[in-house]
Amino acid sequence: MPANLTPQYQRLEEQYRKAQTLQERAGLLDEMLATIPKHKGTEKLQAELKTKVKETKAELQAEAAAPKKGPKTYRFPRQGCGQVLIVGAPNSGKSRVLKELTKAEPEVAPYPFTTREPLPGMMPWEDINVQLIDTPPITDAHFEPYLLNLVRAADAVVLTFDGSSDDAPEQTAEVLSQFASRKTKLADVTGFDDDDFSIIQIKTLLVATRGNDPGCDDRLAFFREMTDANLTTLKVDLDESASREQLRETIYGSLGLIRLYTKKPGKPADMSSPFVIKTGGTVEDLAAVIHKDLVETLKFAKVWGSSAHDGQSVGRDHVLHDKDLVELHA
């Protein structure tokens, strides 16, 4: 039976996935339980949520009783319209991707294990920015524990693959299995697994660096045979500026977003910095990113753009398009 989850519930689920603290998670789980439509199709999910609530409250109590000095963690406040983690095997080009697309200055070197700590940078694309985070390498013997939460809360992953190395297929498959063994799937979509709430999938773009190497296609084919992941793939040569621009655009594209400009009634449009929502999103989704209360008070909207013309009045379920100009009426 389909779960037919409401947009309101889905927004909470997304916030929960991105929550940074236990306290935040506990609060969101309560809200999710209160909001989830109560019918047969959601019974399994309701039960899983209740278990999660219990577990999270127990963790909160344990933490209050004995504040633990756990392993190292990193928190990167979200900036820009999305957060993308760059992960991969040693020497696969992770730091070079960050260096070419942002102003960050990671160490790039032709030997493995140069990067010891995650490093963020902002990647501009047209009138918006995407946050990229470079990370230490992953091998069968080396997996920084904090990487797991960073990846599970990200909007997308760039998985680098050294197109010039015969070791790349096996080493990259190892990266996938390191995550898979921790209930995290580098996949073709982002979100909770429909059948198992403990598994998180993260939309992953496979980037073959040194993609001009004559053996690159064969190595990619071999990698595909080794795994069942069906990842969008881009070959790049980071020495070429056209290739770097294509990578920039493809990373933005992997986020699946549209940009929306807003105006207040009787005022000029604000074209300086757009709001972003998921492709396929509605007037109600836009209201939700502007202000929580607006979702309740919203009456209708006027839209100029490709989804509606000349300030046509539309309802909250109207699906918006990239670059629409929207005037919300509460």
Residue 282 near ligand GDP by CB under 6 A: no
Contact 89, 137 (CB under 8 A): yes
Strands 119-125 and 128-134: antiparallel
Q: How far is CA 155 from the centre of its chain?
A: 1
Does 104 participate in binding ligand GDP (rule CB under 6 A)?
A: no
Q: Would you give the binding string for ligand GDP spanning residues 144-183, x where CB under 6 A is met?
A: ----------------x-----------------------
Number of C-alpha atoms within 13 angstroms, CB side, residue 303?
23
Based on the shown chain and the rule CB under 6 A, indicate whether residue 84 belongs to the binding site for ligand GDP: no
Q: Which x/- pattern, by CB under 6 A, does the window 105-134 give for ligand GDP?
A: ---xxx-x-xx-------------------
DSSP type of residue 41: G
Rounded distance between C-alpha atoms, residue 218 and residue 129, angstroms: 34
Closer Cβ to ligand GDP, 24 or 239, answer by number: 239
> Which one among 95, 172, 184, 282 touches ligand GDP, defined by CB under 6 A?
95
Span of 3-11, 140-148, 233-241, 253-261 interacting with ligand GDP by CB under 6 A: 233-241
**Binds ligand GDP (CB under 6 A): choice among 82, 90, 118, 274:** 90
Nearest to 136, CA basis, from 155, 101, 160? 160
The least CB distance from residue 42 to ligand GDP, in Å, is 42
Q: Tell me the closest approach of the beta carbon of residue 164 to ligand GDP, in angstroms.
A: 8
Does 95 bind Mg ion (CB under 5 A)? Our answer is yes
Query: What are residue 201's DSSP bridge partners?
Result: 185, 191
Side chain identity at 284, as an amino acid letter?
E
Measure the CA angle with vertex 135, ends 133 and 137; round to 5°: 155
174 binds, among ligand GDP, Mg ion, none (CB under 5 to 8 A by kind): none
| Binding residues with ligand GDP: total (CB under 6 A) | 22
**Chain centroid, CA 292 distance in Å:** 21
Work out what residue 210 binds among Mg ion, ligand GDP, none; the CB cut-off runs from 5 to 8 Å by kind: ligand GDP
Tokens 């991105």, residue? 18
Least distance between Mg ion and beta carbon 114 (Å): 5
Distance of CA 130 to the CA centre of its chain: 10
Which residue spans within the chain are E strands per DSSP?
Answer: 83-88, 119-125, 128-134, 156-162, 184-187, 191-193, 196-209, 232-235, 257-262, 270-278, 300-304, 312-314, 324-329
Q: Which of 56, 209, 282, 307 lies at the binding interface for ligand GDP (CB under 6 A)?
A: 209
Q: How far is the CB of 125 from ligand GDP (least distance, A)?
A: 19
CA distance 225 to 315: 47
Tell me the Ramachandran region of residue 25: left when phi exceeds 0, alpha when psi lies from -120 to 50, beta otherwise: alpha
Which contiguous run of DSSP H or E holds residue 47? helix 43-65
> Of the ranges 138-146, 182-190, 237-245, 274-282, which one interacts with ligand GDP (CB under 6 A)?
237-245
Closest to ligand GDP by CB, 238 or 326: 238
Count of Cβ atoms closer than 10 Å to residue 180 Cβ: 15
Cα–Cα distance, 173 to 183 (Å, whole number):
15
Which among 31-39, 63-71, 230-238, 310-318 is the span making contact with ligand GDP, rule CB under 6 A? 230-238
Q: Choose from ligand GDP, Mg ion, none: what does 239 bind? Cβ within 5-8 Å by kind.
A: ligand GDP
Establish if 91 lies at the interface with Mg ion (CB under 5 A): no
- Here the tokens at position 145 are 């524990």
Q: Which residues bind ligand GDP (CB under 6 A)?
A: 88, 90-96, 108-110, 112, 114-115, 137, 160, 209-210, 236-239
Q: Which residues bind Mg ion (CB under 5 A)?
A: 94-95, 114-115
